[in-house]
Chain A
Amino acid sequence: MEPVYRPRLWQFAFAMLFGAFALVVSWLAFNPNVADDYRAYYIDRTSSCFPRITSGYYELGTPATFVAGRSGHERDTLRWCGFIEANRQGIRTFGDYGILKLRFAVPDEDLLLSFTSTTNAKTSEPPRDVVVEVNGTKIGTVTYSSAARVMGSMTIPKDVAAANTEGGLDIRFNVPRIGPPGTNSEPVTLQLRLTALRVVVASAAPPPPETRITGALPKGVVVKK
């Protein structure tokens, strides 16, 4: 014999009320009102880092150090997205790319970007290419085949330097994926460590250190060796 239940109006009314509340919240959940960088990193997961709030202050021509303990590193104004904060080995990328934001009055001349870097590349594995972009334009590729220090040096054409609407340079280092995702679902990527960086007016630049740069360069880009 089936048990008999008597429905109660007040129970039904409250159940509908709570259900409606849950529906309203669900609608809000599917229609977030957030900034693009938040959406890209946390919701769509199309970006591999969440940008810091930073001024990007940089004095053209001065060297910037990323090594903890060295003079000036504590200002930390350039590290914008995808770089873990400075330690004694410098700043390190953690996703598909790391971006430095440099804000200064851009002169109407070509600039020279130079940086000191290392990676966790191994001699037993294939060489790894890191593509460098400035203001969205590729300016060069640096190949790492071991953990040895590599001095990067590449010219930034004046039209590329002037392309940033905020005035300055967004320097992006695209690092390759070197392994499948681990238990945290994030892809394993090459870790690029930067220890120092400098941008100078190309005409006033000192002779750059020798560096191995590979890959096709865009038209008009000159790599000094």
Chain B
Amino acid sequence: MSDVTGDSVVAPKNRWQIPPFILIPFYLMAIGVLLRYAVYARSSGHWGFVDYLRALCVYDCNAYERLALYGYEGRPSGFDKGDANNWAFFPLYSILAWAAAQISGLSVLIAGSILTSLLTIAAALVSWPLFEGRMRAYFLFCFFLFLGPASYYFSTLYTEGLFLLLTVAAFVLLRQRDYMTAGLTGAIMSATRATGLLIAASILIQAFQDHLKDGGSARGFLAGIFKRTDLMLAVAMVPIGLCCFALYMYFHTGDALAFVHIQRAWGRAFQNPFSNLWLALTMQFKNGWALTTITTDLAFGLAAIAGMALSLVLAIRGQWAMAVFCLGGILLPLSTNTYSMIRFVAGLAPLLIVASIMLARWKWLYYLTLPTLLILDVLLLQTWTSRSYYLM
């Protein structure tokens, strides 16, 4: 009887349907772009879509655009101190944006914006296995990417979309015990951002955990590590992207670590990350407990703490490969200073995934989070386009 009245009458069994997890990122991306464009047009009075894309393209977006257009610059002369140029920016994303522009015939700004959105959609799709069927958490994750307060990073010329895709791809591959392809992904990651190197540690940790799952011991893993040529190759592949960039820098500037040294223009120098964190957290209160505003230092410090707390959650859940990757992804930039920490935390896929899983666990919290993210996305649009230090 149920066959007569049930869904099978309305939808024939052999009808092919696109699974919801595929449709969700596309829908949310489209809604996000239209919503932000509408807010921009309403608040600025400019209706040009390219104007909107240009308005979104602030801070590093300009650097990646210039890099795609003109390549790496010569002697540093940028910023007010005359010591900056674009050597700090890793090449892969700009190469892809340049290629997208060449193939499509569009400007780098438009092609790059489309590319970032597509890369973020791909990241969402690839991440699906990591949610283990938790549709609500997956929807929240996608909602955050396309309609959350960090959506700007995933819709303009920033590396976040590409890095997110590569990160989830690497962890899905590690889940499948495909260490070598994960290592190859790591090579691409290290050509995108310096923190891509951290995937090497994740490969080893995941292999160790898998070894234990298979009935092996810690001692046996260490004793047999020299027989694990698959792991050797996987780990050896990870730095290739960064090494190629360093080699290019050596021939371009004479300094293979120019991309590290140029960070002085951004006030970055290697120090104890925890003393940097303490300095950022206490800076605002040096002259009394002023809490009428939150300084960028404090905001960045709080973002770092939130990121470390989520890394701890990953560790508690036994996801050590992700935990170490994320903790390193926070501590590495934190060891120079706290600038851009909100963006760095928002760009660490495992943190977003575990946060989504936690927030989607209770329905009331889930339904509270969705409108909160949406409101922040709309409210922060003008903050972003006016080049706020908080979001940079």
Chain A interface (Cβ < 8 Å from any Cβ of B): 1-3, 5-9, 11-12, 14-16, 18-19, 21-22, 25, 28-29, 32-35, 38, 41-43, 45, 49-50, 52-53, 84-85, 94, 182-186
Closest-by-CB residue of B relative to A12 is B229
Give, as a whole number of angstroms, the nearest-CB distance from B289 to chain A: 19
Q: Which residues of B contact A45 (CB under 8 A)?
A: 264, 269
Q: Which residues of B contact A42 (CB under 8 A)?
A: 83, 255, 258, 261-262, 264
Asked if residues A32 and B257 are in contact (CB atoms below 8 Å), the reply is yes
**Count of chain B residues with Cβ under 8 Å from any Cβ of A?**
53
Asked if residues B243 and A33 are in contact (CB atoms below 8 Å), the reply is no
- Compute the total of residue contacts between A and B using a CB distance below 8 Å: 129
Most chain A Cβ neighbours within 10 Å, of B211, B227, B232: B232
Asked if residues B243 and A34 are in contact (CB atoms below 8 Å), the reply is no
Whether B3 is near chain A, meaning CB under 8 Å from some CB there, is: no
7 smallest A-B Cβ distances: which pairs?
Answer: A184-B267, A11-B229, A42-B261, A185-B269, A18-B236, A15-B232, A33-B254
Q: Which of A3, A16, A19, A50 contacts B81 (CB 8 A)?
A: A50
Asked if residues B269 and A32 are in contact (CB atoms below 8 Å), the reply is no
Q: Which residues of A contact B230 (CB under 8 A)?
A: 5, 8, 11
Give, as a whole number of angstroms, the nearest-CB distance from A24 to chain B: 8
Chain B interface (Cβ < 8 Å from any Cβ of A): 75-77, 80-83, 180, 211, 214-217, 220, 224, 226-230, 232-233, 235-237, 239-240, 243, 246-247, 250, 253-258, 261-262, 264, 266-269, 271, 276, 279-280, 283, 297, 337-339
Give, as a whole number of angstroms, the nearest-CB distance from B253 to chain A: 7
What is the bound-complex CA distance between A179 and B224, given in angstroms? Answer: 54
Closest-by-CB residue of A relative to B261 is A42
What is the bound-complex CA distance between A21 and B280, given in angstroms? Answer: 39
Asked if residues B82 and A50 are in contact (CB atoms below 8 Å), the reply is yes
Give, as a whole number of angstroms, the nearest-CB distance from A198 to chain B: 24
Q: Which residues of B contact A32 (CB under 8 A)?
A: 250, 254-257
Q: Which residues of A contact B237 (CB under 8 A)?
A: 18
